[in-house]
């Protein structure tokens, strides 16, 4: 066991505590990654607030990038010194979901409480989301990482691990948007901006962003939205229909976590359209739909976890788009913070000012 610094959650809703923790060496099929950057996702914040329960103490964080510094037995395709992104998508590769091309919903359970992390005193420490990346290093399964170019900035690369693949994947993999179709993206935060980029890359004719903030709608236009509609308007779906030439959207991508967005989503749809539910409301929150309308108009509702991504297939493609200048990543970064400033970065994110805040590690 080695000692590293990590931001630990001891109590839901309380500030994270920077402290020494123990990290086990990589086991069979595992790699150790020394991190250069980890972004702060709203899911990390919701977990730390107790929105979905879980074991404490815990280390959150799951949008990360760094360098491979250790290899367990049986690891193939990676070497020490490789630059990689680290994701929370841990998959067995053999269950029916994995074999069917859906590794994001792998059916194999993993014990993250008795994983590679322990407190300084040797007690169980949850490696939340099979990642635990609010720390200097992580030990994860080799299926959770993907190589990236050595000269790619790790702060930008970290964003790919969740927010980027979730947004782009929702448009491309889940909604299956085709050139000439129309899309609505509800919520213009970090995931929403990437859903907009995904719709643009897929060839959408018009992309309408819907958000409560005029400033976020302006940003959405920079990322590829053709129109912006304030969610606070009375019956905002009418403004969306007008922007789309009098019809609804072929796909509505709901990236917000607010229940009104889910209640309203079907109202934006065209006949035969589908709403893709991406955001993560707190457990127990419920939305209402009128099923007869969906049935009569041939509309659908589907959930999309992590953009239905196959990381070994999709991340190299996304990196290539970035290197070609066809995908905006650097522009997503609102601020760079040290690990010691993580609570300030979280507060800034909760205030709604950030696209993505990134914790960077100065390894000198």
Is residue 227 in a domain?
yes
Give yes or no: residues 16 and 118 share one domain: yes
pLDDT at residue 155, as a whole number:
97
Question: Confidence band (pLDDT; 50, 70, 90) for 70?
Answer: very high
Residue 104 pLDDT exceeds 80? yes
Question: Confidence band (pLDDT; 50, 70, 90) for 283?
Answer: confident
Judge whether 152 and 83 are in contact, CB under 8 Å: yes
pLDDT, one tens digit per residue, over 222-265 is 999 999 999 999 999 999 999 999 999 999 999 998 999 999 99
Judge whether 20 and 59 are in contact, CB under 8 Å: no
Give yes or no: residues 278 and 137 share one domain: no
Give yes or no: residues 185 and 270 share one domain: yes
Span 21-48, average pLDDT: 96
Give yes or no: residues 87 and 231 share one domain: no
Is residue 169 in a domain?
no
pLDDT at residue 274, as a whole number:
97
Span 317-331, average pLDDT: 97
Span 161-184, average pLDDT: 97
Total tally of structural domains belonging to the chain: 2
Is residue 168 in a domain?
no
Return d(Cα 169, Cα 190) in angstroms, integer: 14
Q: Give first-to-last CA distance, the chain, whole Å.
A: 23
Question: Confidence band (pLDDT; 50, 70, 90) for 351?
Answer: confident
Give yes or no: residues 127 and 107 share one domain: yes
Domain boundary among 303, 331, 352: 303
Give yes or no: residues 6 and 64 share one domain: yes
Q: Considering the entire predicted model, what is its pTM?
A: 0.94
Give yes or no: residues 245 and 356 share one domain: no
Span 86-109, average pLDDT: 96
Residue with tokens 């809703």: 13
- Calculate the average pLDDT of the chain: 96
Domain span holding position 41: 2-162+308-360
Judge whether 69 and 34 are in contact, CB under 8 Å: yes
CATH number reported for the structural domain that contains residue 47 in this entry = 3.90.180.10
pLDDT, one tens digit per residue, over 202-225 is 999 999 999 999 999 999 999 999
Question: Confidence band (pLDDT; 50, 70, 90) for 363?
Answer: low
In angstroms, what CA-CA distances link 252 with 34, 276, 298, 300?
A: 38, 6, 14, 10
Alpha helices in the chain (DSSP H): 42-48, 96-99, 154-159, 165-169, 190-202, 214-222, 236-243, 259-264, 291-297, 311-323, 342-350
Domain boundary among 268, 283, 303: 303
- Between the CA atoms of 223, 351, 356 and 61, what dihedral angle is there, to the nearest 10 degrees? -150
Give yes or no: residues 182 and 251 share one domain: yes
Give yes or no: residues 261 and 320 share one domain: no
Span 105-134, average pLDDT: 96
Judge whether 36 and 143 are in contact, CB under 8 Å: no
Judge whether 202 and 182 are in contact, CB under 8 Å: no
Which carries the bigger pLDDT value, residue 157 or residue 54? Answer: 157
Return d(Cα 158, Cα 41) in angstroms, integer: 11
Give yes or no: residues 138 and 223 share one domain: no
Q: To the nearest whole percent, how much of the chain has pLDDT over 70?
A: 99
Return d(Cα 97, Cα 158) in angstroms, integer: 26
Is residue 347 in a domain?
yes
Return d(Cα 33, Cα 142) in angstroms, integer: 10
Residue 313 pLDDT exceeds 90? yes
Residue 364 pLDDT exceeds 60? no
* 28 exposure class (CB count in 10 Å sphere: 0-12, 13-18, 19+): exposed
Beta strands in the chain (DSSP E): 2-8, 17-23, 30-39, 58-59, 63-71, 83-86, 117-119, 126-127, 137-141, 145-147, 182-186, 206-211, 227-230, 249-254, 269-277, 300-303, 333-337, 356-360
Nearest partner of 10 among 2, 69, 1, 19, judged by Cα: 19
Give yes or no: residues 217 and 339 share one domain: no
């Amino acid at each position: 066991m080695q000692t590293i610094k990590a931001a630990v959650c001891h109590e839901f809703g309380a500030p994270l505590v920077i402290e020494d923790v123990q990290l086990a060496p990589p086991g069979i099929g595992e790699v150790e990654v020394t991190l250069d950057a980890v972004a702060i996702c709203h899911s990390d914040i919701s977990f730390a607030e107790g929105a979905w329960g879980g074991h404490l103490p815990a280390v959150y964080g799951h949008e990360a990038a760094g360098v491979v510094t250790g290899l367990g037995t049986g690891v193939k395709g990676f070497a020490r010194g490789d630059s990689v992104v680290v994701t929370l998508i841990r998959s067995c590769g053999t269950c029916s979901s994995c074999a069917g091309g859906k590794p994001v919903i792998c059916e194999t359970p993993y014990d993250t409480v008795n994983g590679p992390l322990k407190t300084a005193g040797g007690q169980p420490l949850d490696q939340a989301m099979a990642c635990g990346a609010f720390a200097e290093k992580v030990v994860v399964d080799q299926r959770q990482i993907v190589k990236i170019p050595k000269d790619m900035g790790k702060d930008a690369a970290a964003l790919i691990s969740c927010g980027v693949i979730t947004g782009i994947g929702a448009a491309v993999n889940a909604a299956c948007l085709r050139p000439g179709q129309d899309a609505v993206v509800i919520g213009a935060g970090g995931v929403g901006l990437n859903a907009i980029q995904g719709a643009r890359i897929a060839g959408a004719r018009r992309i309408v962003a819907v958000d409560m903030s005029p400033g976020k709608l302006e940003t959405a236009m920079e990322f590829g939205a053709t129109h912006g509609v304030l969610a606070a308007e009375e019956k905002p779906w009418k403004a969306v229909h007008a922007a789309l030439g009098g019809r609804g959207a072929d796909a509505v991508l709901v990236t917000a976590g607010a229940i009104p967005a889910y209640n309203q989503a079907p109202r934006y749809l065209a006949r035969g359209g589908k709403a893709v539910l991406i955001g993560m409301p707190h457990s127990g929150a419920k939305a209402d739909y009128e099923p007869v309308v969906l049935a009569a108009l041939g509309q659908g509702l589907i959930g999309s976890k992590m953009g239905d991504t196959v990381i070994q297939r999709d991340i190299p493609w996304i990196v290539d788009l970035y290197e070609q200048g066809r995908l905006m990543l650097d522009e997503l970064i609102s601020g760079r913070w040290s690990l010691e400033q993580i609570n300030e970065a979280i507060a800034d994110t909760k205030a709604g000012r950030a696209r993505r805040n990134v914790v960077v590690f100065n390894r000198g």
